[in-house]
């Protein structure tokens, strides 16, 4: 596997990126019954800020690459940040505010621009930053 900047190998020894004081990592987590790729993601905040993970992120139809998975994760993080930046975001009608644990809200809103820039970088170089 080859990884190009701005991506990196994180402290979990997985492909990912650094956003602010956090490392965002991704790995394969097997296939779904309908043959979509499932991903396991990690967000590690420095200075005891917490470790967060999930494995419910899936590709579109067919096999998905790690780069596509990371791009999707950043897309969802951006939607989460936007929802959390909205007044009264804890209300249940802000569906995107439920995408990640509430403890990630402060980090996501503080780094919304960096999340968007990293997502754009991945979009501009499809399957060229993580070559498997």
For the chain, the structural domain boundaries read 7-126
pLDDT-derived band at 98, boundaries 50, 70, 90:
confident
Q: Is the pLDDT higher at 85 or at 4?
A: 4
3-state secondary structure of 60: coil
Q: In this structure, are residues 48 and 62 in contact, taking their beta carbons and an 8 Å threshold?
A: no
pLDDT-derived band at 87, boundaries 50, 70, 90:
low
Residues in contact with 7: Cβ distance below 8 Å, sequence separation at least 6, in sequence order: 15, 16, 17, 70, 129, 130
DSSP letters for 54-115: EEEEE-SSS---HHHHHHHHHHHHHHHHHHHTSTTTTSTT-GGGGSS-GGGHHHHHHTHHHH
- What's residue 48's pLDDT? 83
- What's residue 76's pLDDT? 94
How far is the C-alpha of 29 from the C-alpha of 47, rounded, in Å? 28
- What's residue 121's pLDDT? 96
Percent of the chain with pLDDT over 70: 93
Question: What average pLDDT score do residues 62-80 get?
Answer: 93
How far is the C-alpha of 55 from the C-alpha of 39, rounded, in Å? 6
pLDDT at 127 over 90: no
pLDDT at 65 over 90: yes
- What's residue 89's pLDDT? 54
Q: In this structure, are residues 85 and 77 in contact, taking their beta carbons and an 8 Å threshold?
A: no
- What's residue 88's pLDDT? 57
């Amino acid at each position: 596997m080859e990884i190009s900047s701005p991506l990196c190998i994180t402290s979990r020894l997985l492909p990912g990126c650094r956003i602010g004081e956090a490392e965002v990592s991704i790995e394969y987590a097997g296939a779904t019954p309908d043959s979509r790729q499932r991903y396991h993601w990690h967000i590690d905040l420095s200075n005891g800020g917490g470790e967060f993970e999930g494995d419910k992120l899936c590709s579109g139809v067919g096999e998905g690459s790690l780069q596509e998975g990371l791009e999707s994760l950043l897309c969802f993080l951006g939607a989460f940040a936007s929802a959390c930046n909205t007044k009264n975001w804890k209300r249940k009608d802000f569906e995107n505010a439920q995408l990640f644990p509430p403890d990630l809200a402060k980090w996501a809103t503080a780094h919304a621009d960096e999340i968007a820039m990293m997502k754009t970088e991945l979009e501009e170089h499809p399957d060229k930053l993580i070559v498997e």
